[in-house]
Structure 1
C-alpha cells in the first residue's frame, strides 16, 4: 500500500468509516478476497473516491454480469482506470445487448472488452448507427470480422473515414473495391494514409502486382514496409532470379511468417547466395 499512499497521500487523512470501509464492503459483498481488493486499489487508488452506492457497486455488478467471474472483473479493473467514470449500465451493458442482438456471441464480446475496452463505453445509439453503416457495405453479420468492422468504424470520425475512401479512390480502387477491402480486413482502415500509400506504391513498383491483387489481399497494407515487405520481397526476387525456388510462393504466406520462420525457410538455406545483398529489420 506504500505506493498507493505516495500516489494518493490524502488516503492517510480519509475517514475510515465513511470513506474507505463502504468501498471495501462493496468488494467484499461481491466475493472479492482481501488480496483481490489490495490488487484493485493498488492498480487504481482513485477507485476509493467513487460513490459506493451510485457508481462502484452498480459498475461492479454490470462487469460481473457481463464477464461472469470475479477473476475477469479483477482483470478488467486492472486496465487503465477509467471504467468507473462511466455509467456502465447505460453504456457497456446496453452496447453488449446491442451486439448480442446482432448475433455476436459472449466469448467474442468478452475478448474485445479486454482488448478494446473504450469501444464499449461509446453511446449505444452511435453503435447502432455504425452497425447500419457496416451492414450497408454488405458485411455478413455472421462473420467473425463483423465486430472488428464495427469497432474500427466506431473509432474513426466521418472525416477520417472519407479521407481514407478518397485515398483508396486515388490509388485506383472503385467503391465496390473499397467495400470489399473493408469486408476482408476492416483493420486496414485504421492504418495511416502514408502507410497505405507506401505499401501500394511498393507493390505496384515491382511490376508483379496490380491494384486487383491488393484489393484481394488487403492484409498486405498492414505490414511494415521497411521491416517486412521490402526485405522479404528482395529475398524472393534474388532467389527467383537464381532459380532457387521450385515453385511460386504466396506473398501473403511469406509475410505472415515470423522473422525466425522466414529465415529458416528462405534465408539460412541460401545464406551464400544472399550474403550482403539483403537485410531484414525487426518485424
Structure 2
C-alpha cells in the first residue's frame, strides 16, 4: 500500500506542475500576460502538501487517496497544531473513528486554535448535560458545530429549543436525534412559521423531542406544503393532534397507502379514515400489523364493527396484550354477572391503571371473586400492586 501511496502522490504532484500539455506554459513568451511560476512557492506548497498527506494517513486513519483529497482544503507543515486538536478531542473521550470522521468532514478543523475555538463549544455542550459519549456523537454527526459562533449562533439556538422543551437533558437528546438542528438556519425559520400558525408550545416541544428532523426540511416551502395539506384535511394547528398529523403526512406515501388499504379491507371508507386521522392522527403511524390485530380483536372477540374502532382511533394506540385484552376480559365478566351494563365502555380502556382497577376490578370482586386472579394472569403479574388494591 505504501508503494501505491507514493505513486499516487508523485502523479498528483506531476499533474500540478504539468497542468497544461504545452511546454510554453513554463516558459512564457515576452508578450505573455502570465507570470512564470514561482518555483520556490510551488516547491513549498508541494512539501506542505506532502507533509499534510503523510500526517492524515499516519495520524488520522486516512487512506492515501482520501488524504490527497483533504489536502486540497487544509495544509500545514508542522504537527503542533493538529496534534493539539486531536489531543483535545481525545481528552473529551472521542474515539479514533470519531476523530477521523470529524476531520474527514471538516479538514480545516485541524488548523483551528483548539483552546479558543473548539474547547468553549465542547464545554458549552457538557455544561448543558451532554455526557462524553453524547458529546462525541453530536460532533461526529455535525462537526459544523465547531465552526459556528458560540455566542451568536449555538447558545441562541440551544436556548430556543430548550425554551420549548424545558429540559436541557431532553434538548441534548433532541440534538442527538437531528444533529443539524443546532446549526441549520432552516430550523429557526420553520419553528417561527409553526408558532405563527398557532401551534402550541407543548406541541412544539413534542415535535422537537420526537421528530426534530421535520424542522430540517430542505425548504420552508416543503414544510409549508405539508402544513397546508394537514390543515386542509381538517386538523387544527392549535390542537395537540397537529404535530403527529404533520409527521404522518411527511412519511413516504407508500406507508400511508398501506394503512389506507388495510382500513378498506375492513370495509371502511375514505371518510371513515379521514375522520379517524383528524381525531387521532397517530393512528396512521401505528404499524399495519398492530392495527390489523387490534381491529380483529374488537371485531372478532368483542363483536364490534370496524367503524366502531375507528370512531375512537385512540384505541389503536393502546397495547393489545397489556391493556386491551386484560381489560376486555374484566368487562366481559362484570357484564355477565350484571355488575355493569352491557356496552362498549370506552373509558375503561383509556383510564389509568389505578382508576380502572378501582372502578372495575376492585368494585366487582364481590360479584366476581375470580376477577383479581383473572386480571393478574392477563396482565402477567405475580401479585397485584398493593397501591391498586388499597
Q: Is the 8 A contact 2:226 2:249 kept in 1?
A: yes
Deviation at 1:167, TM superposition (A): 1.1
Distance 1:232-1:167 versus aligned 2 partners, 3 A rule: same
Q: Which consecutive residues of structure 2, in runs of 5 or more, have no partner in the other structure?
A: 1-88, 100-108, 382-390
Aligned to 2:196: 101
Helix, strand or coil at the partner of 1:141: coil
Helix, strand or coil at the partner of 1:103: coil
Q: Which of the numbers 215, 231, 234 marks the counterpart of 1:135?
A: 231
- Aligned counterparts of 1:161 and 1:243: Cα–Cα separation in 2: 43
| Equivalent runs, 1:1-283 vs 2, <5 Å | 4-5=92-93, 7=95, 18-25=113-120, 36=127, 39=130, 43-45=134-136, 47=139, 49-50=143-144, 52-54=146-148, 58-68=153-163, 75-79=170-174, 81=176, 83-85=178-180, 88-123=183-218, 124-154=220-250, 156-206=251-301, 208-245=303-340, 247=341, 251-268=345-362, 269-270=364-365, 272-274=369-371, 277=374, 279-281=377-379
Q: Which consecutive residues of structure 1, in runs of 5 or more, have no partner in the other structure?
A: none
Helix, strand or coil at the partner of 1:81: helix
- Aligned counterparts of 1:23 and 1:37: Cα–Cα separation in 2: 16
Q: Is the 8 A contact 1:235 1:267 kept in 2?
A: yes
What count of residue pairs does the alignment treat as equivalent?
275
Give TM-score, length-normalised by structure 1. Answer: 0.78
Please identify, of 264-273 and 145-154, the stretch whose mean Cα deviation from structure 2 is larger: 264-273
Aligned to 2:57: none
- Aligned counterparts of 2:117 and 2:290: Cα–Cα separation in 1: 51
Please provide the CA RMSD for this pair: 3.7
Deviation at 1:3, TM superposition (A): 8.5
- Aligned counterparts of 1:107 and 1:140: Cα–Cα separation in 2: 14
Q: Is the 8 A contact 1:44 1:78 kept in 2?
A: no
Q: Which fold has the larger relative contact order, with Cα–Cα distance below 8 Å and residues 6 or more apart in sequence?
A: 1
Aligned to 2:19: none
Deviation at 1:131, TM superposition (A): 1.4
Deviations 1:8-42 (A, max 9, x none): 6998xx989713431334578xxx59x71684656
Distance 1:27-1:65 versus aligned 2 partners, 3 A rule: farther
- Aligned counterparts of 2:352 and 2:91: Cα–Cα separation in 1: 39
Helix, strand or coil at the partner of 2:113: helix
Give TM-score, length-normalised by structure 2. Answer: 0.59
- Aligned counterparts of 2:348 and 2:263: Cα–Cα separation in 1: 25
Deviation at 1:191, TM superposition (A): 0.6
Deviation at 1:103, TM superposition (A): 1.8
Helix, strand or coil at the partner of 1:5: coil
- Aligned counterparts of 2:247 and 2:380: Cα–Cα separation in 1: 28
Deviation at 1:177, TM superposition (A): 0.8
- Of structures 1 and 2, the larger Rg is shown by 2
Q: Is the 8 A contact 1:77 1:83 kept in 2?
A: no
- Aligned counterparts of 1:38 and 1:15: Cα–Cα separation in 2: 26
